Structure 1
Amino acid sequence: MKISKKWLERYMDLGQRSMDEIATTVTNAGFEVEDIVPLSQGTNLVIGEVLTCKDHPDSDHLHITTVNTGDQVRPIVCGAPNVAAGQKVIVALPGAKLPGGEIKSGKIRGEVSDGMICSLAELGVDKHTLSEAQLSGIEVLDQDAPVGHTDPLGYLGYDDTVLDIGLTPNRADCQAAWNMASETAAILNIPCQLPEVAGAADIASDVPTQLKIVSETEKCPHFYGKVVNSVTIKPSPKWMQELLRASGMNSINNVVDISNIVMLETGQPMHFYDKNALPHQEITVKDNLDTDYTTLDGETYHLQSGDVVITSNGQPIGIGGVMGGNDSKVEDNTQGIIIECASFDHVSIRNTARRLNLNTESSIRYQKGIEPLAAKKAIDRAVDLLIQYADAKDFEQTVEFGCDHYEEKTITCTVEQINHRLGTDFAKEEIVDVFARLNLEPTVEGTTITVKVPSTRLDLEGMADLSEEVIRMIGYDRLPSTLPVMEMTEGKLNPQQRQRRFIQTFLCENGLQDAITYTLVSSTKKENAIFSTGDALELPTPLSEERRYLRTSILPSLLESAAYNHSRGNKGVNMFEISELTSTQGVIEHLAIVLTGAMNETRWLKTSTPADFYTLKGLVETILERSGISENRLFFKPNQKDTTHFHPGRSAEVYIGKDLIGLMGEIHPLYANEVGLKHAVMAELDLDQILETKKSKIRFTPVSKYPAVYRDLAFVVEKDLPASKIVEVIKRSGKLGKESIVKNVDVFDVYQGEHVGEHEKSIALTMTFQSDVQTLDDKTITTIFNSIIDAIVNQCKATLRSA
């Protein structure tokens, strides 16, 4: 937001305050002044008249001039191509300090030069606001410029300083000069008098109108239109030109300048159309056009469906909220105008402006937000200025489409609430004074204060906002210095964090690498999700096709990382990753494991732990068992859920009780080839479910002091019978009274071949018998051993092969 000292002085008396002082005070109240920019700089300047001008005898571009500066005639050597006798010019006298340095008397190629004839650029005027002629030569003043006048910058209106204020998102209302001025006056605690124009558009509207305005889109809910049948096009008054210049805008003519001044004052963009360019007296707002259109800047843009477009008789006359059209602009021969003042959807305007690369003053204001009553204020102010400076008359009645939907709001607070929130002891009078300065119209009953929220202050929603207003206006230096209350807490992990930390530590101790892979994946990885958490979410504006979706499975990314390492010679890669997965069903944490090489290897002993199904199964069992999930709650079932990514005969579903918590097994050969691996075993588990499962207490018992006895068994059973079924029967049958004396059962051989049937297999097991309370004799062990054999034969339909 740019606002100049002259603009502020139109509404308030700044007294002797400097702009530096004002900038500091405004910044302390929450509006950061990012820069203080003088429109021009220069001392010891005077208006002079060029009396004579001739070419320098020793130069092809310099001129020797004599200049009357009021008190004397000075010889000055000038290099500007446009200098000529009879001109009124700006002269920097010896000793003058300009942005480029200090001016001194001297000789230039043998000729005396007692000063410098200046261009505006040499006086620090922003080059972007100057024409090509002004940039290439000296500034030539009007013939009525007073020779000897010692403030030429003031004569031209460049004696101003601009505050460049960075607005926070909640204070978009201060894009309007009226609101920023009112805020500044409140901060400085001085009176502010804004123009009284309410109802001006209605007072000047006696003639019925034929104008019809319609909006065919929800993106334009509110719209004013007004016909002014007679205006006079002429130059704008000096004050208007100066304020536009200070805001970085050029003066066009009085009517166009009025539309810009009103936008800057009220924050509400508006547009004036040449009345003769709209013979149908009809304006319709649409958002379904697909056409090319030439705007005021002379450029042609392609409009597409979704862009808000102002039309008349079905043809575009302006891009809503962005820029008007070249075919209906106000020109020197304009005799009447039609005023359009509308409210537009800020998202739509932002999208159109960004796509067309048209960040105009209008589009910027619409994007940041405009107060609901700004359109009415703007049309009233426009009529007021048109009457004063454009001889406007023959107004027709104002036409309105829709409504502003504004409802006045009040907020109630107490002195105690304000002070409690701020930690202060402000008196009621101080708080009420702040609200009055901010035009909140406070009313007081006891210690209760009720304020009316102006339409400009949509950021005020409750007591917390009022307390912020109080402290920023009174000053943050009034806050007492207090130490924060910091309760001492014990720094430790919660139970789930401890379990997660254990899993990471355990896997790392067993030689696995803790990996971190990308959360965003391609459509291919999305389709290959393994044990997916749900439907994937797609980014609205992805950076690339490889990063379009939020993943719902870790394994595709982990397998890609393993393949990347293999392709670069790093063969024995074993990894795991713990990551949150986001889908339409919510956020769920998974654990994924990929093994592609031996877990450990001792070459001189020729021993290694292979990366196979059973190694992975052992890791999963150990993790769950040491997390407090006993082996009798853990089940592995043949994999029927996913045989596309897993080998059908070498994979399993993992259950805790009846709940499926994951899939594990060997990768399917076809999928392995697709991802670039020859072999891998992998698992993906629902870590949230594991962590949330009720854990059994881990009980520690002393080592039995009684001897152990070992017995072997071998049975022929059906090929599909799992070994775990036999182990379960053994443990259930191996009891002496209430004590289970079968401490351990290990399967040491599984045989299929010529010595057993085609649909059979032989399973050999070792059992460990041991009691915690007595020494077991042979008779007792034999009795229990025989009962185990009978149970296996009967319950597993097994045939004893050896014992």
Structure 2
Amino acid sequence: MRTSRKWLEQYVDLHDLTLSELAKKITDAGLEVESCKPLSAGTHLVIGEILTCEDHPDSDHLHVTTVNVGDEILSIVCGAPNVAAGQKVIVARAGAVLPGGEIKAGKIRGQESNGMICALFELGVDPHMLTDEQKAGIEILPEDAPVGYTDPLGYLGYDDEILEIGLTPNRSDCQAQFNLGTEVGAIFEREVVLPQFENASDCGAATNLTISSTTEQCPLFLGKVIGSVTIKESPKWMQELLRAAGMHSINNVVDISNIVMLETGQPMHFYDIDAIKNQEITVKNGFEEEYTALDGETYQLEKEDIVITNEGKPIGIAGIMGGDDSKILETTKGLIIECASFDHVSIRNTARRLNLSTESSLRYQKGIEPLAPKKAMDRAVQLLIEYADAKEIEETVQWGVIDETQRVLSCTPQEINNRLGTQFALEEIVSVFERLHFDPIVEGEVITVTIPSYRMDMEGMADLSEEVIRILGYDKLPSTLPFMPMTEGKLNKEQQLIRKTEELLCDKGLQQCVTYTLISSAKKDNAILGSENAIELASPMSEERRWIRTSILPSLIGVAAYNEAHGIKNSSLYEISEVSSKDWIKNHLAIVLNGELEQTRWLHESLPSDFYTLKGLIEMYMDKIGINKNRIFFKENKKDILHFHPYRSAEVYIGKDLVGIMGEIHPVYAKENDVKNIVMAELDLDLIGGVKKSKIKFAPVSKYPSVERDLAFVVDRSLPVEKITEIIKRHGRDKETKETILQNVEVFDIYEGEHVADHEKSVAISLEFQSNAHTLTDAQINRVFESILDSLEKDCQAVLRK
């Protein structure tokens, strides 16, 4: 944000402050002044008139001049190509100190030179603010410039001091010079006098102007017809303020639109009335065509860009730049004023894509107060009447509703002081709110304030406290030690689970990843165990970082795709991260396996990253954190068959609670993400952490021999093997001795094919029997074995293969 002493002094008396004092106080109040410098500089300057100008006898480009500076005539050698007799110029006498050094009297190639005829860039004026003609030679003053006047920079309006202020994102209101002036007045506790222009645009006869918007990205649009204006040079004060803001003066009408934008923070656009057919303006989007803007460049419009149109044809890129075919010319006789509110995210995206950063787009991107369009319209009409002879004014046309709701907040001195650790009196706090134009009302100890519309950052007690301390001064905060309660130096249960998870998965060869929490709409829509109520950022940096994720897997799949694209065939990845929605905040664990988990090339051994490897990894993890394998269930996946293969994935349950989904990626989803056949899982760590864990028990290895028996039987092909193993485990107890002797059940073969009916399959299972108290007898083993066979035949219609 750029401002100047002259601009601020229009509203606040600052005559007794140096530039450094002004900058320090503004910075101390939270608006950091990044640089402060004079607009121009130079001592011993005077306005002179060139009496004679002759070529230097010993040079092909120098000139010998005589210059009248009022009290004497100086001989000066000048090398500027545009120097000529009769010109009024700026002269630096001998002894003058300029930004480039000191000017001394002497001889140049044998000719006396007692000073220098100056160009503006030699006096410290920013070359970007000068024309090519000004940069090529000396500055030629108007014919009526007073010879001998010792403040030529003041005569030209360059006697100003510039402040560059770095605004924090919450103080976009200070983009408006009116608001910045109010802020400076509050900081120095001085009266602020702003121009009176309220309701200046309410005048006008009936109009034929029609305005509308077909996009939600333009909620408010004001338009007004000024039937007659006079195009001429702007007044000197207006040119000087524009120069201080880093802008060129063009003519009075264009300059008024720029001054109003700088004063109120609200961009607006003036159209030549003859260029707007049928006086109709509509805000739209959905265009895909080339468009030539005011700068003469051609830009490619996209569907999402907001465009100002007339009879269906673009006449401006909304919030950024108007069109070349409707600009104000010397021949312009009347105007149509456009002043609107636009969606700041859309403006930012368009400006970034077109690489078109303007004063208008910068203000829209940072946020503009709701009442700014009406203020800007009022101020523009006032200035047009005064400086452009505006006549034939028609009534203002409005599309949409202006939000005039005012925020009201309350606080007490005790609340303020408790937050700040101070002892400010009621009167001091009320004084701050009065200086900020918050209109405080005191009832007992309660202070009620009405927040001005431009202070959109004021939301609650914390903001009121901040205003008090920054205006009264941070140096008034007492030096105190912070209150730091003692805490036990250990991990809480959630941290312990995360730490244990990291250790277990790293031990198995998985690599931990950290991916972005902010994701694109596509990743948001492909959430696993996610939520439809995802949180959207108000001001996303880009479309790729618009949403806070509710699932980790879409991001982790992207890592696997990157690795695969770079020739890394084996990827074993996991990530633990917090995921959020409008309804909850949780910790999730995501796993992605690709290629082989383990490989020993010397022994020709490998462990493929398939469904069963991932399932075993999850079972191992659950067992290690104290969840008994009997409590873990893998059921057919019916929750998500868009991202997971419908026949090679499973839902993971602990008891009756669904804690995750695992399995192969769906081929279509894999193709969309440029990956091959990966297996993946996402688990709810908060649910897993909330499960009551079994205590780890240690038992000695049985000293008695074990007995293994294998059996194979035929069952219906649709019967899950899990049901078979459950029945076997349920009948592993000897009914006579009441002792459980079945220690392990392992499926080692499933056969479908020859000698087995098409609708059947053969399942082979190994059973291990053992006692911790004695050697088992054949009778005991046979009783349990027969019980198992009977149950399988009854519950599963299993037929023993012989």
1:675 and 1:378 map into 2 onto residues whose CA distance is 49
Q: Structure 1, unaligned stretches of length 5 or more?
A: none
| Matched pairs, number | 776
Q: 1:514 aligns with which of 511, 514, 522?
A: 511
Residue 514 of structure 1 aligns to which amino acid in structure 2? Q
CA-to-aligned-CA distance 1:190-213 (integer Å, 9 cap, x gap): 1121122223344xx4x6334423
Pairs within 5 Å for 1:573-584: 575=572, 577-579=574-576
Pairs within 5 Å for 1:135-214: 135-202=135-202, 205=203, 208-214=205-211
Match of 1:383 in 2: 381
Decide whether the 8 Å contact of 1:268 with 1:370 is kept in 2.
yes
Q: Give, in angstroms, the shift of residue 663 of structure 1.
A: 8.0
| Larger mean Cα displacement after TM superposition, 54-63 or 453-462 | 453-462
1:285 aligns with 2:282: yes
| Larger mean Cα displacement after TM superposition, 97-106 or 633-642 | 633-642
Decide whether the 8 Å contact of 2:270 with 2:338 is kept in 1.
yes
Q: Give, in angstroms, the shift of residue 138 of structure 1.
A: 0.6
- SS for the counterpart of 2:368 is coil
* Aligned-pair Cα RMSD in Å: 5.0
1:612 and 1:365 map into 2 onto residues whose CA distance is 53
Decide whether the 8 Å contact of 2:530 with 2:551 is kept in 1.
no
Match of 2:33 in 1: 33
Q: Give, in angstroms, the shift of residue 563 of structure 1.
A: 6.8
Q: Give, in angstroms, the shift of residue 389 of structure 1.
A: 3.0
Match of 1:241 in 2: 239
1:552 and 1:95 map into 2 onto residues whose CA distance is 73
Q: 1:473 aligns with which of 467, 471, 474?
A: 471
- SS for the counterpart of 2:469 is helix
Q: 1:769 aligns with which of 768, 771, 774?
A: 771
Q: Give, in angstroms, the shift of residue 676 of structure 1.
A: 13
Change beyond 3 A, Cα 1:303–1:144: same
1:300 and 1:93 map into 2 onto residues whose CA distance is 49
| Larger mean Cα displacement after TM superposition, 348-357 or 149-158 | 348-357
Decide whether the 8 Å contact of 2:290 with 2:301 is kept in 1.
yes
Decide whether the 8 Å contact of 1:322 with 1:360 is kept in 2.
yes
1:691 aligns with 2:727: no
Change beyond 3 A, Cα 1:382–1:531: closer
Match of 1:368 in 2: 366
1:791 aligns with 2:787: yes
Q: Give, in angstroms, the shift of residue 27 of structure 1.
A: 0.9
| Larger mean Cα displacement after TM superposition, 301-310 or 119-128 | 301-310
Decide whether the 8 Å contact of 1:213 with 1:400 is kept in 2.
no
2:642 and 2:427 map into 1 onto residues whose CA distance is 77
CA-to-aligned-CA distance 1:402-460 (integer Å, 9 cap, x gap): 44231344332222222222221111111111111112222222222222222222322
Residue 420 of structure 2 aligns to which amino acid in structure 1? L
Decide whether the 8 Å contact of 2:266 with 2:368 is kept in 1.
yes
1:451 aligns with 2:453: no
Q: Give, in angstroms, the shift of residue 29 of structure 1.
A: 0.8
Q: TM-score, normalised by structure 1?
A: 0.81
Pairs within 5 Å for 1:87-486: 87-202=87-202, 205=203, 208-217=205-214, 218-277=216-275, 280=278, 282-287=279-284, 290=287, 294-301=292-299, 307-311=305-309, 317-486=315-484
Q: Give, in angstroms, the shift of residue 629 of structure 1.
A: 2.7
Q: Structure 2, unaligned stretches of length 5 or more?
A: none
Q: Give, in angstroms, the shift of residue 746 of structure 1.
A: 7.3
Q: Give, in angstroms, the shift of residue 188 of structure 1.
A: 0.9
- SS for the counterpart of 2:64 is strand
Residue 252 of structure 1 aligns to which amino acid in structure 2? I
- SS for the counterpart of 1:697 is coil
Change beyond 3 A, Cα 1:677–1:133: closer
Residue 429 of structure 2 aligns to which amino acid in structure 1? I
CA-to-aligned-CA distance 1:84-120 (integer Å, 9 cap, x gap): 1121111112221111111112222222222111101
Match of 1:43 in 2: 43
2:88 and 2:556 map into 1 onto residues whose CA distance is 81
Q: Give, in angstroms, the shift of residue 221 of structure 1.
A: 4.2
Match of 2:741 in 1: 742
Residue 137 of structure 1 aligns to which amino acid in structure 2? G
1:458 and 1:520 map into 2 onto residues whose CA distance is 28
1:261 and 1:612 map into 2 onto residues whose CA distance is 67
- SS for the counterpart of 1:420 is helix
| Larger mean Cα displacement after TM superposition, 346-355 or 234-243 | 346-355
1:14 aligns with 2:19: no
1:445 and 1:239 map into 2 onto residues whose CA distance is 45
- SS for the counterpart of 1:418 is helix
| Larger mean Cα displacement after TM superposition, 260-269 or 556-565 | 556-565
2:734 and 2:402 map into 1 onto residues whose CA distance is 85
Q: TM-score, normalised by structure 2?
A: 0.81
CA-to-aligned-CA distance 1:696-728 (integer Å, 9 cap, x gap): 523536548x96244454556448896995896
Change beyond 3 A, Cα 1:600–1:625: farther
Q: Give, in angstroms, the shift of residue 556 of structure 1.
A: 6.1
Q: Give, in angstroms, the shift of residue 69 of structure 1.
A: 2.2
1:64 and 1:299 map into 2 onto residues whose CA distance is 45
Match of 2:697 in 1: 700
- SS for the counterpart of 1:233 is coil
Residue 423 of structure 1 aligns to which amino acid in structure 2? G
| Larger mean Cα displacement after TM superposition, 781-790 or 462-471 | 781-790
Residue 26 of structure 1 aligns to which amino acid in structure 2? I
**Bigger Cα Rg:** 1
| Larger mean Cα displacement after TM superposition, 239-248 or 368-377 | 368-377
1:397 and 1:751 map into 2 onto residues whose CA distance is 86
2:683 and 2:8 map into 1 onto residues whose CA distance is 64
CA-to-aligned-CA distance 1:593-645 (integer Å, 9 cap, x gap): 568376789x8xx8989669988776554433333233433467899999999
Change beyond 3 A, Cα 1:212–1:428: same
Q: Give, in angstroms, the shift of residue 477 of structure 1.
A: 0.9
Decide whether the 8 Å contact of 2:714 with 2:800 is kept in 1.
no
| Larger mean Cα displacement after TM superposition, 467-476 or 444-453 | 444-453
1:388 and 1:210 map into 2 onto residues whose CA distance is 22
2:400 and 2:518 map into 1 onto residues whose CA distance is 46
| Larger mean Cα displacement after TM superposition, 456-465 or 439-448 | 456-465
2:306 and 2:673 map into 1 onto residues whose CA distance is 48
Residue 411 of structure 2 aligns to which amino acid in structure 1? C
Change beyond 3 A, Cα 1:577–1:112: same
Decide whether the 8 Å contact of 1:517 with 1:557 is kept in 2.
no
Residue 688 of structure 2 aligns to which amino acid in structure 1? L
CA-to-aligned-CA distance 1:125-147 (integer Å, 9 cap, x gap): 11111111111111111222222
Percent identical residues: 49
| Larger mean Cα displacement after TM superposition, 410-419 or 59-68 | 410-419
1:300 and 1:452 map into 2 onto residues whose CA distance is 47
- SS for the counterpart of 1:769 is coil
Change beyond 3 A, Cα 1:312–1:450: same
Q: Give, in angstroms, the shift of residue 157 of structure 1.
A: 1.0
Decide whether the 8 Å contact of 1:91 with 1:116 is kept in 2.
yes
Residue 114 of structure 2 aligns to which amino acid in structure 1? D
Change beyond 3 A, Cα 1:742–1:136: same
1:516 and 1:249 map into 2 onto residues whose CA distance is 49
Decide whether the 8 Å contact of 2:77 with 2:108 is kept in 1.
yes
Decide whether the 8 Å contact of 1:52 with 1:65 is kept in 2.
yes
Decide whether the 8 Å contact of 2:264 with 2:375 is kept in 1.
yes
